[in-house]
Amino acid sequence: MSSRTAFITGASRGIGKAVALNLSQAGYRVVLAARAIDKLEEVASAIKAEGREAYAIELDLASQDSIKNAFAKTSKEFGKIDILVNNAGVTKDGLAIRMKLEDFESVIRTNLTGAFLCCQQVLMPMMKERWGRIVNISSIVGETGNPGQANYVSSKAGLIGLTKTLAQEMASRNITVNAVAPGFIDTDMTAVLPAEVKDAMLKRIPLARLGSAEDIAAAVRFLASDEAGYITGHVLDVNGGMYM
C-alpha cells in the first residue's frame, strides 16, 4: 500500500469516479471531492469495502472558502496531498452571440479558476516534499474549439495554458504538471444524445468507438506514477484518434 494520497475533484461519477477507483486499486489513499456528498460516500464505501482507504469531502469549486476548507480538512486527516487530479467541470452551452455573461463567467470560475485555486492549495506542501503530481483534465475541445461552447472551451484551453506554466514553475522541485484531454467519452452526459448524433460522432473517430471513463483513468494513473517522472507540461490526448 502506497503512503501517497490522491485528491480527486468531481469524484462522484463519470471520469472522476473512475479515476478514484483506479488510483485506489493502484494502492493510493484517495480523497473524493464534489458537491454531491451522498454520492461520494457511496464511492468511498465501495472502496473501503475492498479494504482500501477513501475519504469523502464536500467541495464547491465555485467557492474559494469551500476549496480552502476541503484542503484544510484533508491535510488534518491525512497530512500531505501527493497527487491532485482536477477533474470537476460544468457546462452551460449556448452560442456566443447570445451567451449571458453569468453563464460564461460561472463555467470559467468552476472549471479554470477552481482548478487554479486547488493547485495553489497543494503547491507549497509539494515543494516541501520535493515530489508531486498534478493532472488536469482538459478536453479535446480545448484543442479544437467547439461551436456552442465558448465558455467551456475557453476553460479547457485555459487549463492547458495553466498546466504548461505550472510545469515550468514547479519542475525544479520535482513536481510534474500534466493534462489529459479526453475525446468523446461514454458517460451520463453522452448517454442522452440522440442515436444520429452518436453515429455522426463515431464517423469522426478512427477507432470507431466512444472512449470509456476507464480509458481516461488509465492515462491519469500513468501520469501520477513514478514511471512518468520525466514527463511534464504535456497534454495526453485520449480521443481514439479524433484529433491528432
State yes or no: is 243 an active-site residue. Answer: no
What is the rounded distance in angstroms from the CA atom of residue 24 to the CA atom of residue 225? 13
- 37, amino acid identity: I
Strand 5-9 relative to strand 29-34, pairing:
parallel
- Give exposure, 14-47, as e/b (b: 16+ Cβ within 10 Å): bbbbbbbbbbbebebbbbbbbbeeebbeebbeeb
Catalytic choice (28, 55, 152, 243): 152
CB distance 139 to 189 below 8 Å: no
Distance, in Å, from the CA atom of 131 to the CA atom of 180, rounded to the nearest integer, reads 20
How far is 189 from 90, CA to CA, in rounded Å? 11
What is the C-alpha to C-alpha distance for residues 14 and 219, in angstroms, rounded to an integer?
Answer: 15
Calculate ∠ Cα 12-53-179, nearest 5°: 55
**Residue at grid coordinates 460561472:** 106
Q: Compute how many other C-beta atoms are within 10 angstroms of the C-beta atom of residue 77.
A: 12
DSSP for 86-148, written as a single string: E-------B-GGG--HHHHHHHHIIIIIHHHHHHHHHHHHHHHHT-EEEEEE--THHHH--TT
Catalytic residue IDs: 152
